[in-house]
Amino acid sequence: MMRLHTVFITALTALASLLVAAPALAQTMIPLKIETIPFDAGAEVFYAKDMGFFTKAGLDVTITPINNGPGIAAAVASGAIDIGFSNPLSIAEAYKRGLPFVFIAPAAMYSSKSPSTTLMVLKDSPIKTAANLDGKTVGVNGLKSISQYGPAIWIDKNGGDASSVKWVEIPPAAVPEALQTHRVDASIIAEPQITQAKATSRVLANAYDAIGIDYMLAGYFTTRTWADANPEALRRFVAVIRETAKWANANPEKSAAILAKYTSLDPSIIHQSNRAIFGDTLTPAMIQPLIDLAAHYGAIQTFPAQELIYTAKH
């Protein structure tokens, strides 16, 4: 009898375990298509994929790396992909043109304590101040973007005249050479090009400090229509990005290996770079400084940043 009783209890325990595990096992995998730019600021989705965070959350994710911000926006607008990576200025400008884009999660943040973007000149350049840039040529990675408006507001706030500057668009990887060949007198440079350029160039200013000390450089966005129609996919994605942000901020060595895998960057350069810092909660205060910056230079009319943050209908 004792043996039968033991077998019975064991069977009940096993059945209970199966019942508890059933919801997890039965979790429906939701397909999700994402496009991002393959660099540190846009790498959270790669970290989440390699660390198994998406799978654990029940998301069957397809990630397409693309070096074309407008291409990502077009794909999201058309429904070809579900979620894209972009910067607040681009999304704000698209929103004011009538596109129903909304941010759903933050990505890279700007921090004055650890700037990953700076304004640089050659080591032997005579340029020492903002006023020294009057009439000069400055390289940016996108015209009418934060890479132009950031140094512009720094120049204007520090005794120079940004309207006299000639702004030239240069791909990030080409910036160090553009400085060395005097194609530009100064340039905005982001990591890892900062680390690569230090052999011949110096930091003139952390120009983005003129915008603020802590704000969102980029985030994940979709259309309001997709967000309304896919609340569970949205909830799972936002939770994964929050988990990934905390993991990546705490594990720069581990994330560096994944970043090298997806970008073909030299791991030694990645380790020397100021790494991206990721936000884990989306707030209007993260976005408003960039909307106001664009409005200051006439790109758009200012509006409350809350309009760019998705809120579910009740």
Task: Give the pLDDT band of residue 85 (cuts 50, 70, 90).
Answer: very high
| Protein fold of 117-211 | D-Maltodextrin-Binding Protein; domain 2 (3.40.190)
Contact 68, 274 (CB under 8 A): no
Q: Is the pLDDT of residue 9 over 50?
A: no
Q: Can 29-111+215-308 and 117-211 be said to share one CATH topology?
A: yes
Residues 6 or more apart in contact with residue 182 via CB below 8 angstroms? none
Say how far apart CA 240 and CA 96 lie, in whole Å: 29
Task: Report the b/e string of 162-184 with b at 16+ CB within 10 A.
Answer: beebebbebebeebbebbeeeeb
Contact 154, 205 (CB under 8 A): yes
Q: What is the pLDDT of residues 98-143, one digit of tens each?
A: 999 999 999 999 988 888 899 999 999 999 999 999 999 999 988 8
Task: Give the pLDDT band of residue 26 (cuts 50, 70, 90).
Answer: low
The closest of 106, 266, 140 to 208, measured between CA atoms, is 140
Q: What is the pLDDT of residues 274-301, one digit of tens each?
A: 899 999 999 999 999 999 999 999 999 9
Q: What mean pLDDT is predicted for residues 231-245?
A: 98
**Which CATH number does 29-111+215-308 carry?**
3.40.190.10
Q: Is the pLDDT of residue 65 over 60?
A: yes
Q: Is the pLDDT of residue 214 over 80?
A: yes
Report the relative pairing of strands 277-278 and 108-111 from DSSP bridges.
Answer: antiparallel
Report the relative pairing of strands 166-169 and 137-140 from DSSP bridges.
Answer: parallel
Contact 72, 66 (CB under 8 A): yes
Least confident of 34-38, 66-70, 72-76, 153-157: 66-70
Question: Residue 168's beta-bridge partner residues?
Answer: 139
Rg value, the chain, Cα: 23
Say how far apart CA 267 and CA 256 lie, in whole Å: 7
Domain ranges of the chain: 29-111+215-308, 117-211
